[in-house]
Every structure is written in structure tokens, then in C-alpha cells.
Amino acid sequence: MTGNEPSPLAGLRVVDLSTTFMGPYCAAILAQWGADVIKAEAPEGDVLRYVGDAKVPGMGPIFLNANRGKRSIAIDLKDGAARDVFARLVESADVLVHNLRPRAAARLGLTPERMLALNGRLVYCAFRGFGSGGPYENRPAYDDVIQGASGMAAVQGVNGERPAYWRSAAADKTMGIFGAAAVLAAVHGRTVTGRGRAIEVPMFESMASFMLLEQQGGWIFDPPSGPTGYPRTESPYRKPFRTRDGYLAVMVYTDEQWRSFFAAIGEPALADDPRYRTIGTRTVHIDDLYSLMDDHLTRRTTAEWQEVFERADIASSKVNAIQDLFDDEHLVATGFFESVDHPSAGRLRMARSPVDMGDRATAATRHPPCLGEHTVEVARELGYDDAAIADLVGRGALVAMKPAQRVAEPAQAADRAEEGHAPVQ
């Protein structure tokens, strides 16, 4: 790209009716690639606005990251006039994303049948806890629940250890990526057929698929030929290795890399040991190999080992704390972080899209929106004049707020979620 070409998703309008993590992350990815994302929020806003250490109410750090590049319209979908506004918004859109449970979506008139009747070219993307048609379909779901249901938590506690969660909303964020891919597939399909479609992105089924890729083991065969699992990831020695002065993450993998490693520790004959000669035999004896590495890496400093591994073309990295990322020489050199001036939250340091589309400049040039910051702007785009907008705001169907205006307290937002804006999570 020359830098003057439009972003890949320029001209694509996405209505983001989702809250918390997975839906907003999906829509944020689309915004970073150039889509015009309109975040439609309840009058109290996405509950994530109130999570974390915020400089101003309603602009918490997770919300800022998950909603960069979007515009916010605050709308009360329990009001008939507001539903008319939302219908116009859907008619103008290419994509609708939400994570309402089916019953809540039906109460608000947001079924796929009704939305596609309004706009036959719409891609209707519904995030679900559990896929439709099964006994769990109306259950609520959160990241922790899906980590448990999908096998993810059990895999963290191998060899009889207690199951454990990843210390990250890993299922939610993975779902956001699944959703972005599904939306783009459906948009491409529309270019062929001219018709939109309803897509369902269920957390349980998606994360079960995610886990089975390498964990299915002998259960890929029917009947099973052996146990589930992947021995390399089950090894208790698979962890960052302690060096003389810190920790190092290392992945020795190919035959050549193991020969180089064995030579580096002064035991080149191990390369011809039948237990370690091939990737298949090494996988069976991975505990022995990782134990060997655990012993040897303590004998040199992190920097010394990194030199050894770089010469041998073996992947390694010092173990970074989250705060270390901001000064990482590679991330600095590639311009990964940029400073953004926010009208109420002040100066922000935010990550660009990690995907290089041929132009390093990010498409998500808008700051994360304050609640209702773009209500009037979007309503005008939908054909409402100022008098009609004032009437809608006056009756509470729409909420228009200035960037620095105080928004609802967390308890109010939580109460609102219980009234029908609750996500699948």
C-alpha cells in the first residue's frame, strides 16, 4: 500500500450492540481495519466502562482498549421510539454484533429474522454461551465457565493437579477473533450471493474446537487408540527456565536445534540417543529433555543463553512482565505503541493493530468514545433533524453526553444489565 489507499474495511458499517469482552473485541478488530463501528449502548453504558482504575468515571482501561476507534450512541431499546431509531441504524449497517442471550434478544425485537427483514444484506453476528439446539442453549456463560467446560482449565492442572484458569480472559478474547473471522467470511459470502446471513458464534463449541486441535490425542480415532492430551504441553517441566539471573522462555524443536543445544551443553552424543533422535521419540521422553534443560540453564545468565540460542537459531525470549512490554526494543522499533489524546481521560498509550496490512498506520484513529458522545451525530446521519433528536433525548429514548460529562455509577449499570441488556456471559 502507498499510504493513500483506503483501509481494507473502509465503507463497512458495523453496529456493535455487545458488552464486556468478546463482542467489543471483535468489533474493535474490525474498527482497526477501517470499519465504521457504532457502539450502541444502554443509557448506563457497557458495564466494562466501570472496571479498573479510571481517571474519569466510565472510562476504565479495559473499556478503552476494547472500544478504540468506535462511535457511541446511547439508546434505550425498551422505548418504542428508540427501537425505531435502532431499526434505521440496522437498515444502514453491513454488520450487527451482539451478545444478548436469545430470550433477551427476542424481548427487544432483535431476532435474526426481524433484523434480516429490515436489511436483507445484513450480517447478523450473535455471540452465544452455548450453541442453539442443545440443552445448554439458554444458560449464561462467562469466560471462567467456558474455560472449565471446554477442557481448558483441566489441561492447566495436569498429573492430578487441581484445574486452573488461565490468568487472562483467554476464552473471551479468542472468541472475539473467531467472531471477526466469521463476520469477514459472511461479508465475503455476501459479495457472491448479494444476501446477508445470520451467524452464531458459540463460546463452548468454539473453545472445545480450540482445545481439541492438539489435545484430542488418541481420541481422534473411533474407537480411541490412546489417551487424550499432548505430552509436550503436559510436562511439569514445561515452564520458563530459571537462569543464573532470571527466567528464559525457550523452545527447542527441530532435530537440528536439539543437536545444537546438546553441543552447547557439552553433551553432543545425546543427539544420537534413540530417545531423542526424532520428534516422535522426543515427545515421548519430553520430561527427560525438559528436566535436562532445567538443570543446565541455571548455569549461565539470561543474556549468555540468548546469545547461544540466537547462534543456533533456537527461539527464546527473556520473560517479560506486562510493564516490560512498553519499553521492549522491538515493540518500540516497530511503533507498536502510540500516544492518543482523549478529551476526558487524558493522554493514553495504546497498541496499534498487530496485523500489517501493508501500511503501518492504524485505521482506528478515533479515540475510545465517551457514553453517548456520538448520539446526535449518528442520529443526524440516520435522517433525524435537530428537533426530532431533541425530542428523543428529552423522553430518554436517546442519551447524548458531552465527553467530560459524568456517567452512571457501576451499580446502576449492573442493575440495567439485569433488566434485559445482559450479555450471554
Say what the alpha-carbon torsion angle 31, 345, 395, 417 is, to the nearest 10 degrees: 70
50-60 in b/e burial notation, b at 16+ Cβ within 10 A?
beeebebbbbb
CA distance linking residue 203 with residue 130, whole number of Å? 6
Count CB neighbours of 393 within 10 A.
18
Query: Which H or E element spans position 25?
Result: helix 22-32
**How does pLDDT run along the chain (425 residues), one tens digit per residue?**
455 678 899 999 999 999 999 999 999 999 999 999 999 999 999 999 999 988 989 999 999 999 999 999 999 999 999 999 999 999 999 999 999 999 999 999 999 999 999 999 999 999 999 999 999 998 999 999 999 999 999 999 877 789 999 999 999 999 999 999 999 999 999 999 999 999 999 999 999 999 999 999 999 999 999 999 988 888 888 899 999 999 999 999 999 999 999 999 999 999 999 999 999 999 999 999 999 999 999 999 999 999 999 999 999 999 999 999 999 999 999 999 999 899 889 999 999 999 888 765 555 678 999 999 999 999 999 999 999 999 999 999 999 975 444 433 344 444 443 333 334 44
CB-CB contact of 250 with 316 (8 Å): yes
What's the predicted TM-score (pTM) here? 0.89
Decide the pairing of beta strands 247-251 and 241-242: antiparallel
* Backbone angles phi and psi of 245, in degrees to 5: -130, 15
Is 377 within the bounds of a domain? yes
Whole-number pLDDT of residue 358: 76
CATH label of the domain that carries residue 373: 3.40.50.10540
| 360 shares its domain with 310 | no
β-bridge partners, 399: 74
Helix axes 386-394, 80-91, angle to 10 degrees: 130
| 27 shares its domain with 60 | yes
| 312 shares its domain with 341 | no
| 203 shares its domain with 253 | no
Is 324 within the bounds of a domain? no
β-bridge partners, 423: 100
Helices and strands (DSSP H and E) totals, the chain: 18, 12
Containing domain of residue 135, as a range?
Answer: 13-211+335-421
Is 312 within the bounds of a domain? yes
Whole-number pLDDT of residue 216: 95
Say whether the peptide bond before residue 223 is cis (omega within 30 degrees of 0): yes
| Residue finishing a domain among 269, 285, 318 | 318
Whole-number pLDDT of residue 365: 73
Number of domains into which the chain is organized: 2
Going across the sheet that includes 247-251, the strands are 241-242, 247-251, 315-318
Alpha helices (runs of H) in 255-366, residue ranges in sequence order: 255-264, 279-284, 286-296, 302-311, 329-333
CA distance linking residue 102 with residue 405, whole number of Å? 33
Is 83 within the bounds of a domain? yes
CA distance linking residue 56 with residue 45, whole number of Å? 14
Is 369 within the bounds of a domain? yes
With CA atoms as reference, report the closest residue to 180 among 47, 14, 5. 14
| 27 shares its domain with 54 | yes
- Using alpha carbons, list the distances in angstroms from residue 305 to 157, 245, 262, 298: 29, 11, 13, 10
DSSP string, 122-167: -EEEEEESS-TTSTTTT----HHHHHHHTSHHHHHT-TTPPP---S
CB-CB contact of 52 with 62 (8 Å): yes
| 45 shares its domain with 169 | yes
| 90 shares its domain with 122 | yes
| 63 shares its domain with 127 | yes
CB-CB contact of 217 with 229 (8 Å): yes
Is 8 within the bounds of a domain? no
| 144 shares its domain with 271 | no
DSSP string, 197-244: EEEEEEHHHHHHHHHHHHH-GGGGSSS-SS-SS-HHHH-TT-SPEE-S
Cα–Cα–Cα angle for 178, 77, 377, nearest 5°? 85
CA distance linking residue 222 with residue 80, whole number of Å? 54
Is 197 within the bounds of a domain? yes
| Residue finishing a domain among 293, 318, 343 | 318
| Residue finishing a domain among 252, 287, 318 | 318
- Amino acid identity at 218: G
Whole-number pLDDT of residue 1: 46
| 275 shares its domain with 353 | no
- Using alpha carbons, list the distances in angstroms from residue 8 to 66, 225, 363: 20, 46, 9
Count CB neighbours of 255 within 10 A.
13
| 43 shares its domain with 109 | yes
CA distance linking residue 321 with residue 308, whole number of Å? 23
CATH label of the domain that carries residue 298: 3.30.1540.10
Is 50 within the bounds of a domain? yes
With CA atoms as reference, report the closest residue to 172 among 2, 19, 353. 19
| 151 shares its domain with 67 | yes
- Amino acid identity at 45: G
Query: Which H or E element spans position 81?
Result: helix 80-91
